[in-house]
């Protein structure tokens, strides 16, 4: 049975590798071919145009610049919050940490719409200021500025940094700083000499991951910034869809992929340094007994509530009220056909499409992601090689992925460009890294002695898998499935490329509605955004019921 079991294991390990090869590597290689050989012969003119053009150099520099500022602002705000969550126990702590994760899985079109609802020219803040001070014009003009892009990026990625640092900090304890305080060290010295050196691995890991997300940001920049603040991601979409300059779009995609691959190598290396042995994660927090500690907790919770929940609350308010009166026409008209989608479908049909695609994508991502996690856990040369490879879809722009599908999957036997199946395939590919990073910590936490004891007692590999491994990673599987479902529901960039008339999803219809003039279209977009927000909130409440606060790599 051993040779047969080894053969079965190889087949299982090959499943995610084959899926990644067909639906990720092959489209990327096709982009290479288009950019390097647009007419069948070697032609580097597209890359030469990139290097010689001041405009594209400035686009690359701006992409890096806005990602660096967004990452720095995110870490600056999340570091003290992570300390408070790791150091103190207080009522509502787990629930707040759970809800803080909600913005991360919201589609970028919803995030952009939420910030427009709270900080836009007709947003709630400007409406209140106009009412209070009898102003004719909006006093806060943030639309189409770099500031609102950075604020949205902080809102979007705050929970990523918060979770990574909180989980790592909670496992370290605070004995060192307590000893330093007994020796007369002040608060500044403790931060400089104790806390920052201890938290540095988590700070690096969180910073790299946030930078990746900001570097590949699409919807936030496209809707809030416009072409004036175009990043590489927006330029890829613009060149491929508006101008149809495929060689230049492919060259931009390859520059982005190469940059992100380097960042992913740094991220996976930092994640290995963050590994916590089984039983090593424990709670060292204490209740805030002193007035100073209670004040710190109160201020932290208040700032987080303003940063994370005011845009979502404004979105909900705008969807239900118009001119101060209750108006639910955005919800009641979802079953009506609208020309705003340009795809001859109703918003309600898009909701059903999203649910159907999310269920298919979740099933595929859980099966493939679990197999990939077991492969990575083998801890050989191959595992170190495939770990960043499986993470690459996370850092590859959804626009690049959708572009690759269009140019690569257009001939038999993979003529999927006009098939609805390409939507759940792209969603499963985007969700695969989330499943892997949810299952892998649970898998690594299993003590090797359990498997060794089972082998001594005569248990075969399949029995050990069924009775030890799968039950112990069960929570990680459910967490990964919930991540996959919510990621699929909110995926925007690739769906915008490949969606057909009968397969449009919620984020695509929201974007189409926002581009169509008229109050009715805007209210329908608000209503669909609220539906998507509530689905994501429900998913993360399930996640938090199944894992401890701060646990996991995301």
pLDDT at 72: 95
The whole-angstrom separation of Cα 261 and Cα 360 is 28
Residue 41 counted as domain residue: no
Residue 369 corresponds to which tokens in the numbers above? 């992601």
Span 498-537, pLDDT tens digits: 777 677 888 888 888 877 767 778 888 888 888 888 887 7
Q: Report the 10 Å Cβ neighbour count for 356.
A: 15
- Answer for the pair 526, 143: CB distance below 8 angstroms, yes or no: no
Q: How confident is the model at residue 2 (pLDDT cuts 50, 70, 90)?
A: low
Burial class (CB in 10 A: 0-12, 13-18, 19+), 363: middle
Contacts of 128 (CB under 8 A, 6+ apart): none
Give φ, ψ of 445 to 5 degrees: -85, -5
Q: How confident is the model at residue 277 (pLDDT cuts 50, 70, 90)?
A: very low
- What percent of the chain lies above the pLDDT cut of 70? 86
Q: Which residues pair with 322 in a beta bridge?
A: 325
DSSP for 113-143, written as a single string = HHHHHHHSTTSHHHHHHHHHHT-SS-S---T
Mean pLDDT, residues 79-89 taken together:
87
Mean pLDDT, residues 86-111 taken together:
78
pLDDT at 316: 87
The whole-angstrom separation of Cα 74 and Cα 348 is 36
Number of folded domains that form the chain: 1
Helix (H) or strand (E) holding 326, with range, is: strand 325-326
Mean pLDDT, residues 439-463 taken together:
71
Residue 42 counted as domain residue: no
Q: Which residues pair with 13 in a beta bridge?
A: none
pLDDT at 279: 42
Burial class (CB in 10 A: 0-12, 13-18, 19+), 181: middle
Residue 32 corresponds to which tokens in the numbers above? 């290479």
The whole-angstrom separation of Cα 149 and Cα 142 is 9
- Answer for the pair 210, 70: CB distance below 8 angstroms, yes or no: yes
pLDDT at 458: 65
The single residue listed with the structure tokens 């930078």 is 211
DSSP for 254-318, written as a single string = HHHHHHHHHHHHHHHHHHHHT---TT------B---SHHHHHHHHHHHHHHHHHHHHHHHHHHHH
Burial class (CB in 10 A: 0-12, 13-18, 19+), 68: middle
Residue 88 counted as domain residue: yes
Torsion sign (Cα): 161, 167, 168, 169:
positive
Radius of gyration of the CA atoms of the chain, in A: 24
DSSP-derived secondary structure letter, 322: E
Q: Which residues pair with 478 in a beta bridge?
A: none
The whole-angstrom separation of Cα 143 and Cα 200 is 35
Plot region of 440 (φ>0 → left; ψ -120 to 50 → alpha; else → beta): alpha
pLDDT at 133: 82
Span 429-449, pLDDT tens digits: 989 988 988 888 777 777 766
Lowest mean pLDDT among 127-131, 370-374, 386-390, 449-453: 449-453
The whole-angstrom separation of Cα 451 and Cα 465 is 9
Q: Report the 10 Å Cβ neighbour count for 260.
A: 22
CATH code of the domain in which 464 resides: 1.10.3720.10
The single residue listed with the structure tokens 């709630």 is 124
Residue 39 counted as domain residue: no
Helix (H) or strand (E) holding 325, with range, is: strand 325-326
Contacts of 300 (CB under 8 A, 6+ apart): 80, 81, 84
Residue 293 counted as domain residue: yes
DSSP-derived secondary structure letter, 240: I
Listed residue (439, 438, 345) closest to 105, CA to CA: 438
Span 229-276, pLDDT tens digits: 888 888 887 887 777 777 788 788 888 878 877 887 777 777 666 655
Mean pLDDT score across all residues of the chain: 79
Residue 394 corresponds to which tokens in the numbers above? 């996370």
- Answer for the pair 216, 397: CB distance below 8 angstroms, yes or no: yes
pLDDT at 386: 78
Listed residue (88, 91, 92, 68) closest to 80, CA to CA: 88
pLDDT at 67: 93
Residue 50 corresponds to which tokens in the numbers above? 């990139």
Span 174-183, pLDDT tens digits: 777 778 878 7
- Answer for the pair 451, 418: CB distance below 8 angstroms, yes or no: no
Contacts of 308 (CB under 8 A, 6+ apart): 99, 100, 102, 103, 155, 158, 159
Contacts of 462 (CB under 8 A, 6+ apart): 5
396-432: buried (b, 16+ CB within 10 Å) or exposed (e) per residue? bbbbbbbbbbbbbbeeeebebbeebebbbbbbbbbbb
- Answer for the pair 169, 82: CB distance below 8 angstroms, yes or no: yes
Q: How far is CA 68 from CA 200, 209, 380, 463, in A?
A: 17, 12, 34, 49
The whole-angstrom separation of Cα 407 and Cα 391 is 23
CA 375 to chain centre: 23
The pTM for the full model equals: 0.76
- Domain holding 393, by residue range, is 2-34+47-331+339-546
Q: How confident is the model at residue 544 (pLDDT cuts 50, 70, 90)?
A: low
Span 36-76, pLDDT tens digits: 777 777 777 777 778 788 888 888 889 999 999 999 999 99
- Number of helices (H), then strands (E), in the chain: 28, 2
pLDDT at 460: 67
The whole-angstrom separation of Cα 306 and Cα 231 is 28
Burial class (CB in 10 A: 0-12, 13-18, 19+), 551: buried
């Amino acid at each position: 049975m051993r040779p047969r079991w080894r053969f079965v294991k190889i087949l299982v390990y090959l499943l995610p590798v084959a899926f990644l090869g067909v639906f990720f590597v092959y489209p990327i290689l096709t982009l290479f071919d288009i950019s390097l050989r647009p007419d069948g012969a070697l032609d580097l003119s597209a890359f030469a145009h990139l290097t010689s053009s001041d405009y594209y150099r400035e686009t690359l520099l701006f992409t890096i610049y806005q990602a660096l500022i967004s990452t720095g602002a995110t870490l600056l705000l999340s570091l003290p919050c992570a300390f408070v969550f790791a150091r103190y126990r207080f009522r509502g702590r787990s629930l707040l940490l759970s809800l803080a994760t909600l913005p991360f899985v919201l589609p970028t079109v919803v995030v952009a719409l939420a910030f427009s609802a709270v900080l836009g020219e007709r947003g709630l803040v400007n409406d209140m200021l106009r009412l209070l001070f009898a102003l004719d014009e909006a006093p806060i003009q943030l639309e189409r500025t770099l500031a609102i892009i950075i604020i949205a990026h902080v809102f979007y990625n705050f929970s990523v940094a918060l979770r990574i640092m909180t989980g790592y900090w909670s496992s370290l304890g605070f004995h060192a700083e307590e000893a330093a305080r007994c020796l007369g060290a002040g608060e500044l010295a403790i931060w400089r000499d104790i806390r920052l050196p201890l938290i540095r691995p988590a700070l690096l890991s969180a910073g790299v991951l946030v930078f990746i997300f900001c570097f590949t940001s699409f919807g936030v920049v496209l809707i809030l910034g416009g072409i004036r603040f175009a990043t590489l991601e927006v330029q890829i979409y613009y060149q491929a869809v508006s101008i149809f300059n495929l060689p230049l779009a492919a060259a931009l995609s390859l520059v982005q992929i190469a940059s992100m691959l380097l960042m992913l190598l740094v991220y996976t290396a930092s994640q290995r340094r963050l590994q916590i042995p089984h039983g090593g994660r424990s709670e060292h927090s204490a209740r805030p007994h002193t007035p100073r500690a209670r004040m710190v907790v109160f201020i932290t919770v208040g700032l987080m509530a303003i940063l994370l929940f005011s845009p979502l609350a404004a979105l909900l308010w705008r969807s239900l009220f118009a001119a101060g009166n209750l108006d639910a026409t955005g919800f009641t008209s979802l079953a009506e056909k609208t020309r705003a989608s340009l795809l001859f479908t109703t918003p309600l049909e898009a909701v059903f499409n999203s649910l159907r695609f999310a269920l298919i994508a979740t099933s595929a991502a859980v099966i493939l992601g679990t197999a990939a996690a077991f492969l990575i856990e083998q801890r050989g040369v191959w595992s170190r090689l495939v770990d960043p490879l499986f993470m690459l879809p996370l850092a590859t722009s959804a626009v690049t992925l959708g572009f690759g599908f269009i140019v690569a999957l257009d001939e038999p036997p993979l003529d999927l460009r006009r098939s609805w199946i390409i939507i759940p395939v792209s969603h499963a590919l985007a969700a695969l890294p989330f499943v892997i990073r949810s299952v892998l910590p649970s898998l690594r936490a299993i003590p090797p002695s359990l498997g060794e004891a089972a082998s001594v007692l005569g248990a075969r590999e399949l029995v050990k898998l069924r009775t030890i491994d799968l039950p112990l990673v069960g929570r990680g599987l459910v967490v990964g499935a919930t991540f996959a479902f919510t990621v699929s529901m909110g995926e925007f960039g690739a769906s915008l490329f490949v969606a057909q008339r009968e397969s449009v999803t919620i984020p695509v219809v929201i974007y189409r509605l926002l581009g169509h003039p008229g109050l009715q279209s805007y209210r329908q977009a608000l209503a669909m955004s609220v539906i998507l927000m509530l689905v994501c909130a429900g998913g993360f409440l399930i996640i938090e019921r199944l894992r401890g606060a701060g646990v996991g790599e995301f």
